[in-house]
Amino acid sequence: MLRFILAGIALLFSCTLTLAQDRAMQDILQEQAALIMESSRTSIAPAIAAIADSGLPQAQVVLQTWQAKKMWRRVADGVFFRVEKAEDGNYTLIDLDSGEQAGSAKKSDIDQIKPNSGIRALLGSALVQFQLQDPDPRRRWAALTSIQRNPAADLLAPLRASIPMEDDPELKAMKQRAERLLTIAYDPDESSRIAAIDQMSRDIGVDVRATLNPLLETRLAVFAGEPPSDVNIASRLEPGEQITAIAAYDILVAADMGPPRIAPDAIRSALAEHIQGGFVGGVPVHQLDSQPARSRAYAALAAEGLVPPEPTPDAMAETLARHSFLRLFAEPSPAVTDAALKAMRSIDLRVGLNRTLDLFLDGMSLASIYFLAAIGLAITFGVMGVINMAHGEFIMMGAYTGYVVQQVVPDHTLSILLSIPLAFAVTFAAGVALERLVIRWLYNRPLETLLATFGVSIALQQLAKNVFGTQARPLTAPGWLDGAWVLNDVVSISYIRIAIFVLAGVFLAIYLYIMRRTRLGLETRAVTQNPAMAASMGINPNRVNMLTFGLGSGIAGVAGVAIGLFAKVTSELGSEYIVQSFMTVVVGGVGNIWGTLAGAGMIGFLQKGIEWFNPSNTLAAQTFMIIFIIIFIQFRPRGIVALRGRAAGD
For 147-189, what is each residue's pLDDT tens digit?
Answer: 888 888 888 888 888 898 888 899 999 999 999 999 999 999 9
* Domain final residue, candidates 102, 122, 142: 122
Q: Are 67 and 142 in a shared domain? A: no
Tell me the three state secondary structure of residue 94. strand
Q: How far is CA 193 from CA 183, 196, 209, 231, in A?
A: 6, 5, 15, 19
Q: Are 467 and 554 in a shared domain? A: yes
The Cα 160–Cα 132 span in angstroms is: 10
Contacts of 386 (CB under 8 A, 6+ apart): 380, 439, 443, 449, 453, 549
The Cα 464–Cα 245 span in angstroms is: 68
Q: Are 34 and 176 in a shared domain? A: no
pLDDT recorded at residue 405 = 93
DSSP codes, 530-572:
-HHHHHHTT--HHHHHHHHHHHHHHHHHHHHHHHHTTS-BSTT
* Domain final residue, candidates 548, 573, 598: 573
Do the beta carbons of residue 104 and residue 86 sit within 8 Å? yes
Residue 196 within any structural domain of the chain: yes
DSSP codes, 276-292:
BTTEETTEEGGGTTSHH
Q: Which residues pair with 110 in a beta bridge?
A: 74
Domain that holds residue 161: 132-216
Q: Are 151 and 65 in a shared domain? A: no
Number of domains in the chain: 3
Phi then psi dihedrals of residue 4, to 5 deg: -65, -40
Residue 615 within any structural domain of the chain: no
pLDDT recorded at residue 488 = 81
Q: Are 389 and 422 in a shared domain? A: yes
Give the predicted TM-score (pTM) of the model. Answer: 0.68
Angle at 32 between CA 26 and CA 35, to 5 degrees: 140
For 380-403, what is each residue's pLDDT tens digit?
Answer: 776 677 888 888 899 999 999 999
Please name the amino acid found at residue 412. Answer: H
Contacts of 283 (CB under 8 A, 6+ apart): 293, 296, 297, 300
Torsion, Cα 281 287 291 293, to 10 degrees, reads -40
pLDDT recorded at residue 255 = 82
pLDDT recorded at residue 642 = 59
Burial of 417 (0-12, 13-18, 19+ CB in 10 A): middle
Closest CA to 119 of 185, 213, 186, 47: 47
Phi then psi dihedrals of residue 103, to 5 deg: 100, -165
Angle between helices 593-613 and 575-588 (to 10 degrees): 120
Q: Are 531 and 403 in a shared domain? A: yes
pLDDT recorded at residue 630 = 81
Residue 629 within any structural domain of the chain: no
Containing 443, the helix (H) or strand (E) segment is none
Tell me the three state secondary structure of residue 593. helix
Residue 647 within any structural domain of the chain: no
pLDDT recorded at residue 3 = 41
Please name the amino acid found at residue 100. Answer: E
Q: Are 156 and 26 in a shared domain? A: no
Do the beta carbons of residue 372 and residue 562 sit within 8 Å? yes
Residue 493 within any structural domain of the chain: yes
Low-confidence spans in the chain with pLDDT less than 50: 1-21, 645-650
pLDDT recorded at residue 617 = 62
pLDDT recorded at residue 421 = 92
Residue 304 within any structural domain of the chain: no
Q: Are 136 and 111 in a shared domain? A: no
Q: Are 476 and 411 in a shared domain? A: yes
pLDDT recorded at residue 152 = 83
Q: Are 101 and 189 in a shared domain? A: no
Q: Are 187 and 45 in a shared domain? A: no
* Domain final residue, candidates 88, 122, 156: 122
Residue 211 within any structural domain of the chain: yes
pLDDT recorded at residue 389 = 87
Closest CA to 419 of 578, 565, 566: 565
Q: How far is CA 72 from CA 33, 111, 128, 540, in A?
A: 12, 5, 23, 94
Q: Are 71 and 137 in a shared domain? A: no
Strand 283-284 to 218-224 pairing = unpaired
State the maximum Cα–Cα separation within the chain, in Å, rounded to a whole number: 118
Residue 344 within any structural domain of the chain: no
Note the Cα 71 to chain centre separation in Å.
42
